[in-house]
């Protein structure tokens, strides 16, 4: 959890690699639905392009379906879910059904200036969801995804006015659910201001050393 551009996706992908667990990113799944041209995708796009949260029913359904796949049996990292109280309650229900528990909620904190600098220089791969930063994490070849060779784009919601609105939506609708996890000691803060190479160490301090298989 964290404001837009704080580095949730970057950290989630590192956690996925370090602990060899799938990364389930709500934003990526929604962008996939948009790209496929499904009815849900069309609804989602209208909200996403304005920087609003997509209706809970859609996001919960997509996330629940993804969590029912067998690759989640040994754990998973959720990026960008839950973002509302209804989603938090739904996550409790889904985890209970799967006999799973939430270990940790990591919340990323970052200054607004850092966020604006990051999002304006972010480039994303619409094919595989990989994320780059033109100055700090550039792709090997300009405009081309290292992972899948896809063409990198600037997301349509990464324009200043919409970024500002996404930030307000985060403060109003998502930040309040943090208390729920703080009350049971599951919420742990991770700085969004760290350099890329400092992040794995900070993750290990919170989640412990990955098991060597």
Nearer to ligand AP5, 115 or 185 (CB): 115
Instruction: Please name the helix (run of DSSP H) or strand (run of DSSP E) that holds residue 119, with its range, or none.
Output: helix 112-121
66 is a site residue for ligand AP5 (CB under 6 A): no
Which residue number places its CB atom closest to ligand AP5? Answer: 27
94 is a site residue for ligand AP5 (CB under 6 A): no
Nearer to ligand AP5, 19 or 106 (CB): 106
Nearest of 4, 25, 2, 42 to residue 161 by alpha carbon: 4
Chain centroid to CA 156: 17
Question: Given candidates 21, 22, 47, 186, which one binds ligand AP5 under the rule CB under 6 A?
Answer: 47
CA 203 – CA 196 distance, rounded (Å): 12
The answer to whether the beta carbons of residues 145 and 125 sit under 8 Å apart is yes
Residue 142 φ/ψ, nearest 5 degrees: -55, 130
Q: How far is the CB of 30 from ligand AP5 (least distance, A)?
A: 5
9 is a site residue for ligand AP5 (CB under 6 A): yes
159 is a site residue for ligand AP5 (CB under 6 A): no
Q: Any idea which residues carry the catalytic annotation?
A: 8, 83, 122, 155, 166
CA 200 – CA 213 distance, rounded (Å): 18
129 is a site residue for ligand AP5 (CB under 6 A): no
62 is a site residue for ligand AP5 (CB under 6 A): no
Site stretch for ligand AP5 (CB under 6 A), options 52-60, 69-77, 141-149, 203-211: 52-60
Question: Given candidates 18, 100, 137, 187, which one binds ligand AP5 under the rule CB under 6 A?
Answer: 137
7 is a site residue for ligand AP5 (CB under 6 A): yes
CA 156 – CA 123 distance, rounded (Å): 11
The answer to whether the beta carbons of residues 195 and 157 sit under 8 Å apart is no
What SS3 class is residue 158?
coil
CA 135 – CA 34 distance, rounded (Å): 29
76 is a site residue for ligand AP5 (CB under 6 A): no
Instruction: Please name the helix (run of DSSP H) or strand (run of DSSP E) that holds residue 106, with its range, or none.
Output: strand 105-109
Per CB under 6 A, residues contacting ligand AP5 are: 2, 4-10, 26-27, 30, 47-48, 51-54, 59, 80-81, 83, 87, 118, 122, 131-133, 136-137, 157, 166, 194-196
């Amino acid at each position: 959890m964290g404001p837009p551009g704080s580095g949730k996706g970057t950290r989630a992908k590192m956690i996925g690699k370090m602990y060899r667990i799938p990364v389930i990113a709500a934003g990526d799944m929604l962008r996939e639905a948009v790209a496929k041209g499904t009815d849900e995708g069309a609804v989602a796009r209208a909200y996403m392009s304005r920087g609003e949260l997509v209706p809970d029913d859609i996001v919960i359904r997509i996330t629940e379906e993804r969590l029912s796949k067998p690759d989640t049996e040994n754990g998973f990292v959720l990026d960008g879910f839950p973002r509302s109280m209804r989603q938090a309650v739904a996550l409790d229900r889904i985890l209970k059904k799967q006999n799973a528990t939430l270990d940790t909620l990591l919340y990323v904190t970052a200054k607004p200036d850092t966020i604006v600098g990051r999002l304006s220089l972010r480039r994303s791969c619409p094919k595989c969801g990989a994320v780059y930063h033109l100055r700090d994490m550039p792709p090997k070849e300009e405009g081309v995804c290292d992972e899948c060779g896809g063409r990198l784009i600037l997301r349509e919601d990464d324009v200043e006015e919409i970024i500002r609105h996404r930030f307000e939506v985060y403060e109003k609708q998502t930040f309040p659910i943090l208390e729920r996890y703080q009350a049971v000691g599951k919420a742990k803060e991770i700085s969004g201001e760290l350099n890329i190479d400092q992040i794995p160490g900070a993750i290990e301090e919170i989640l412990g050393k990955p098991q060597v298989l």
